[in-house]
Chain A
Amino acid sequence: MAVRTTPPLSEAEEARLMKEAEPLISFHLLDDLINRARANSLWPLTFGLACCAIEMMAAGASRFDLDRFGAGVFRPSARQADVMIFAGTISKKMGPVIRALWDQMPAPKWAIAMGGCTIDGGPFKYPNQYAIYEGADQLVPVDVYIPGCPPRPEALIAGILKLRDKIKAGHRFEEQQDA
């Protein structure tokens, strides 16, 4: 269930590997174009866990209108979604379900941890807490963290814009490259 990690490399070793991994032919322009397309039409999974889901809905509704940023097409099926917004507390009972949903999402995929609960357990964190996962990153790799309890819709929009920047810059998670 834990996020896969690789053994740490020395700096010199990493630099050597990076040099070796450089492609002979680069499709920089094309990659850029594709990333731009991806960044501008993020389809989130319709998936609320608790309080934050209401603010997620508010972000998609009339005042905040997430559609302005191309991220308003909420998909009910994981197989059509690009980004999973963790909106609420992740209970121990829900964990395996979330992992299954994440695995169903086609790569490339991204995750946004919305609210305190998905960062570290938030208001429900206390010693010997038995019911929840203290953070979404215990289940899936997270790209953007949005603090707040719950974060305001503006904060969610800011998070999505952050994710857009990240995608445009071409950052990827290791797991997704071989997915």
Chain B
Amino acid sequence: MSGDAKISAVLETLLAAKLVQQDEQGVGYAKSGMHHELLCPAEAIRAAATVYREAGFFLEMVTCLDLRETARRMRLVYTFNRLGPAERHRLFVDLAEVKPFEPSPNVKSNATPATDPPALPQCAPSISSVYPAADWFEREIFDMFGVQFSEHPNLKRLLLPEDADFHALLRDFGRVEDADQGEGGRGV
């Protein structure tokens, strides 16, 4: 199956309902492992998830990308797949940055940050009512990135200790170039 495979029934439904749109940057299955690369506005993600649930898809993964340095946004990545011959749908949901990115004083970034942060929603609706699997994925994202999910039943830290005061996977947290490379420092 390749990226330009036939448009599946579930995708037709989603496109017709204007819940998602095709990602123009998509590169196809052979390169990205995604059969369909889609964009979805935050407010539509729950409706989109419901369509997938009704079509018998399972929630494979939810994760987050910290794109504050280059695009001043957080990006949620959802993948849905079938419990049969693979048909992976990848959805990007863009959110506003959780807090301004702090460039490292020790390293010159060659990223060119967008000057105007686009008007994006602060948080995404939780889809844990549709897919209970999302409960932990969303908690992990909250834990690691500080992204909030509205109407999540139990949004608290998942992996880090409850009293942790940082979000570990933010790009400006715990940078190696900021570390004291003295005793015991192994560097990269």
CB distance from B76 to the nearest CB of A (A): 23
Are B161 and A128 neighbours in the complex by a CB distance under 8 Å? no
CB distance from B107 to the nearest CB of A (A): 13
CB distance from B182 to the nearest CB of A (A): 9
Categorize the interface residue count of chain A: 10 to 19
Which residues on B are within 8 Å of A, measured CB to CB?
Answer: 159-161, 166, 168, 173-176, 178-181, 184-188
CB distance from B145 to the nearest CB of A (A): 14
Measured CB to CB, the nearest residue on chain B to A93 is B161
Q: Could you tell me the distance between the alpha carbons of A92 and B159 in the complex, rounded to whole angstroms?
A: 11
Which residues on A are within 8 Å of B, measured CB to CB?
Answer: 92-93, 120, 125-131, 134
Which applies to chain B's interface (DSSP): helix, strand, loop or mixed?
Answer: loop
Measured CB to CB, the nearest residue on chain B to A92 is B161
Are B180 and A127 neighbours in the complex by a CB distance under 8 Å? yes
Measured CB to CB, the nearest residue on chain B to A126 is B186
Measured CB to CB, the nearest residue on chain A to B176 is A127
Are B184 and A130 neighbours in the complex by a CB distance under 8 Å? no
Measured CB to CB, the nearest residue on chain B to A134 is B184
20 contacts between A and B (CB under 8 A): A92-B160, A92-B161, A93-B159, A125-B186, A126-B176, A126-B186, A126-B188, A127-B176, A127-B179, A127-B180, A127-B181, A127-B185, A127-B187, A128-B175, A128-B176, A129-B174, A130-B166, A130-B173, A131-B160, A134-B184
Q: Could you tell me the distance between the alpha carbons of A134 and B175 in the complex, rounded to whole angstroms?
A: 18
Measured CB to CB, the nearest residue on chain A to B180 is A127
Measured CB to CB, the nearest residue on chain B to A94 is B161
CB distance from B23 to the nearest CB of A (A): 33
CB distance from B92 to the nearest CB of A (A): 28
Measured CB to CB, the nearest residue on chain B to A127 is B179
Contacts of B166 in A (CB 8 A): 130
Measured CB to CB, the nearest residue on chain B to A128 is B174
Measured CB to CB, the nearest residue on chain A to B178 is A128
Contacts of A120 in B (CB 8 A): 184
Are B168 and A131 neighbours in the complex by a CB distance under 8 Å? yes
Residue of A125, A126, A130, A134 touching B168 (CB-CB under 8 A): A130
Contacts of A134 in B (CB 8 A): 184
